[in-house]
Amino acid sequence: MTKIRFGRHFLERLLSDELRRAQLRCLLFPRAHPRLVGIRRNALILSRIHAVAAAFGILTLAWLPIDLIALPMRDGAIFSVLRVAASVGFAFLVLFTRRRQSLGRVYLSLVLLYAIPTVFYFTSLLLLRHSGLGLYARTALEAYWALPAVAMAGLGIFPLTLVESIAFSLPVITGEALAFALHLGVFFPGGIIDALWMMFLMGGIAAVVGLSQLSFSLALVSQSLRDGLTGCYARASISELIELNFKDSLRTGSPCAVAFLDLDRFKEINDLHGHEAGDQVLIEAVRRIGSTLRATDCLGRWGGEEFVVVLPGSTGSEAVQTIQRIRAQGLGRRPGGKAVTVSAGVSERIADQCDDWLSLVRIADQRMYAVKSAGRDRVCGPESFGVISTLSAVSI
């Protein structure tokens, strides 16, 4: 008994350590995020870029009267043109961030968000370098030295991974160092050491804040995507994944299979042993199914004792083999000691000539019900549908 408890404790500890490692990878690398989590994070980042770009576009124009008052007429006119150009760039970014929410668009949007004020900053320093400014003008324009620091601090409003924070911080720090190397940092009150120290400090704070946001966002998003009992994807989430993988399959011409699984005679467990016993059967079944699937496969709870498995890149026969491995491994035991069995239907986009993802799910569901009518505890794929249909008709 002690050995069993020790083994169970060791397994829980191992799973806990693996979970922590997965969470750490998600904080370090963007590619470690599950697909739906990544989509939600992309949407959040783009929405914040959208808001920041809109605010910067307005504030950039709002500063225009100060330039006209503080600068000589010629410089003031040039700066007015620069500010209008920057505002147009921010307006374009506002429109750009309203489109599809891919990681590439997130990165391009962040690059544009930082490129516009950086170009404005360097152009400003070049123009003002040889301008004969009076004391009032220099005092009014000393705020320009803070632009790189503001840009660095601004990274903290985005839920970025550590790698992303470093990648977007380094160009800003490099730009500030370049400004001093070219003797353009005329408005910074300290020297290059003070400027770079402040930039590194602001970058570190922004990275910590961004990681805190990312950790909180990952927890909230993961919780909203998962089924509360079993931990696999909820119905809305697995539906979205089926649609995404179906579109990928259409675009690349690769196969995409879906399997519909239904635990046999599950209602008897709830009726005879109670819902708590039924819940334990569901949890164990999900654990065993998940251990057999590939990292690219997705498992979701469709409702009650019904589950859906998305198998991107798998043909119908390959998907059937996967489900057969799951059945061979076993799905746990019923409270009475008998093995839990499953009836499954498999469909595949190319073999079944599906025009949309709903058809893919509907065909798999129909085949699963054909299996149940034919005696349960079987798998029906595109190749075996005729045989199962015949068995079903005989059974009826």
Active-site residue list: 305
Map residue 194 onto helix, strand or coil: helix
Do residues 165 and 211 lie in contact, with contact meaning Cβ atoms separated by under 8 Å?
yes
| Element spanning 285, H or E | helix 275-292
Query: Distance between CA atoms of 396 and 388, rounded to whole angstroms?
Result: 12
Provide the H-helix boundaries in 29-134: 35-62, 64-70, 73-96, 103-129
CA distance 57 to 91: 7
At 243, which helix (H) or strand (E)? Answer: helix 235-252
Sorted by sequence, the CB contacts under 8 Å of residue 28 that are 6+ apart come out as 161, 162, 163
DSSP state of 338: P
Phi, psi of 93 (to 5 degrees): -65, -35
- Report the distance separating Cα 38 and Cα 47, nearest Å: 14
What is the C-alpha to C-alpha distance for residues 218 and 312, in angstroms, rounded to an integer? 24
325, 347 Cβ separation under 8 angstroms? no
CA distance linking residue 172 with residue 256, whole number of Å: 43
Distance of CA 63 to the CA centre of its chain: 37
Please state, in angstroms and rounded to a whole number, the distance separating the CA atoms of residues 111 and 107.
6
- Nearest Cα to Cα of residue 378 among 329, 331, 344: 344
Q: What is the CA radius of gyration of the chain?
A: 29
